[in-house]
Chains A and B, each alone.
Chain A
Amino acid sequence: MTPNKSSSFRAALKQELPAWTQEGIVTEDAAQRITTLYELDKLSKESSSLLAAVIFTLGGLLLGGGVISFVAANWEAIPTFAKVVLLLVLLLAFHLGGYWLWHQKGWSRLGHALVFTGSLVFGANIGLMAQIFHVSGEWYGAFGAWALGSLVMAYAARSWITGLLALVTATTWFQGISHEHPSAWMMIVPLLFAALFLPLAWQLRSRVLYVASYAGITFMLCSFAAERYGSGKYVLITMIVGGFVAWAAGEFHRVKNLRPEFGNPTAALGILILGSSAYIWSFHWWWRDRGWASSSSDVASPTFYWAIPTLIIALIGLALVVLVIQQLNAAGERRLLIFGISVASAILILCALIGGANRGDMALLTISVNFAALIIAAVAIAIGIMDERRLAFWTGTLFTMLLILSRFLEYETSLLTKSAAFTLCGIAMIAAGIAYENHLRRKEAIV
């Protein structure tokens, strides 16, 4: 079973554990093992609430903004050299002050917030430095420099939120540079980012950064496919591959018990990407008009380059699936889910390839994509039932209803038919909800 490592649960556990030991409910040895498993000795002395972290970060931001505004108000009166010194002092004050509070005074949340604010100030300072010296250049260059400084800081300070800042700025930089210089080798950059951000998230045990890295890298690959080749089929295939890999990675974490806390959110992201791609392409007019299928006329380079990184991540996804299946010798139901997602992904990729080549029957392609979307919805519902996860169950159910209702709204049907569809969907949802809640109650009663 995956240990619940949320900070609120750990804080409550840490508070209760001495009393349990005293009452003889748990032995000293068991208490020690719980402390190790849940890393209770690493809990901060401060409040564990997210609110405290948010308030500290906002406070740091306001403080930084206040100082920068004060400097800006007197900007013209300050000599150039003094301006540069001021910016550097401000940067050092946030970083060194934050680190001191974090590691010397035990104020980890406040210190962490100040170090993060330091990296925000770093970004603002890049812009101000450019202004002071009237540096002309491409706007994305500043984001590249910001991303580099923030990423190294995220590793050095072990700060997930600074890592998130680096991811956002790196993605922005990539949007700019790939738009201005859409050369084929740029496709390698998202893979390089994967190699930089995923190990950071792994090291810091940050689910947010881990999931955001998958989302960011998929977004980069998709937007580059659109930019470079101007063709919807590459965007669709890249989205499917990105979603498939995220889902496979999530299952891998869960089944192999390697950073199991990464499993559910990463797999959920994968299903979300796959589901939303399938939903977008489930409308028949995509497969009727197919204006998206052809590449931009001004792009002459072979698509072979595009295929390499996409193929690499697809192979990584397949390798992860094989490893997961090997681990699941006895569990047939789980294998069925893996089979379902793999089949849905394959159908979507085939539809993109066939439809994108202006081949294939419109009705058959539309039905196939809708079928794949229904498989994805069914997998989400099945996960909700098997793992007792309400969010998965309801997402799957809502997705199914959305698909059905979209089809009724998409095609010319009579009001009476639409009314029947809405009513049946409503009844089906209520019935599914009652059945699911009863299922959960029965399971709880057995436990």
Chain B
Amino acid sequence: MKKATIFFLAAVVLQVLILLGVPARKAYTRATGRDVVLKVAPVDPYSILSGYYVILGYDISRPADFPNAPKFEPDEVIYAIVEQQAEGVWKPVAMERELPKNLPANRIAIRGRWNEWRINYGIEEFYIPEGKRDVIADDLRKNPTDARVDVKVDAQGNAALLRLRIQDRVYE
């Protein structure tokens, strides 16, 4: 095989690797993580849609919802400890600066980053297909307190968004 062809094939392989690299961490979290259900905070009805995705906030996004929230530096990494409740939803119970070890079975740590006005966990952007955009936006407007998300959380605390549920309707 000619050198130029090998070089070309290597460039194609690089593009494939980059493409696979984009969702690699999320795919790993999806494959190895534990199921967690989080309550979606009411969304501003006037800015629900941003392009092709919905911006979601959670009750773990606001430091005020944690009993022991410290002061953060910009871009500081934190771990939100959530606990499974009887109804299945996981609620915030504590916040740590290091990944805690030996948590009880009904608790898990989710890795987030303080961005000066809220904590981001990498699960804030929910992409939706064009045909469903208005349906989901309407559903969120009409039922602001009934939205939940199913996420997976891996051993390092990274979270991956699976689906959005509003009452008995499921959006993936």
Contact = CB atoms under 8 A, between A and B. Distances in A.
A200 B132 CA distance: 44
Interface residues of B, number: 34
A99 B8 contact: yes
A9 interface: no
A182 to B, nearest CB: 14
Interface stretch (B19-27, B82-90, B92-100, B140-148): B19-27
B15 interface: yes
Interface in A47-86: 72, 75-76
B14 A152 contact: yes
Contacts of B132: 76
- Contact residues of B: prevailing secondary structure: helix
Interface stretch (A88-96, A301-309, A324-332, A389-397): A88-96
Nearest to A153: B11
Given A75-B129, A133-B27, A103 B5 contact: yes
B134 interface: no
A3 interface: no
Contacts of A145: 18, 21-22
B125 A136 contact: yes
Nearest to A121: B15
B127 A130 contact: yes
B64 interface: no
B70 interface: no
Interface in B64-108: none
A149 interface: yes
Contact of A95 (B12, B23, B130): B12
Nearest to A157: B8
Query: Which of B11, B126, B129, B172 lies at the interface centre, i.e. has the most chain A CB atoms within 10 A of its CB?
Result: B11
6 closest residue pairs by CB, A with B: A156-B11, A133-B23, A131-B127, A134-B161, A133-B26, A149-B15
Interface of A: 72, 75-76, 87-88, 91-92, 95-96, 99, 103, 118-119, 122, 125-126, 129-137, 142, 145, 148-149, 152-153, 155-158
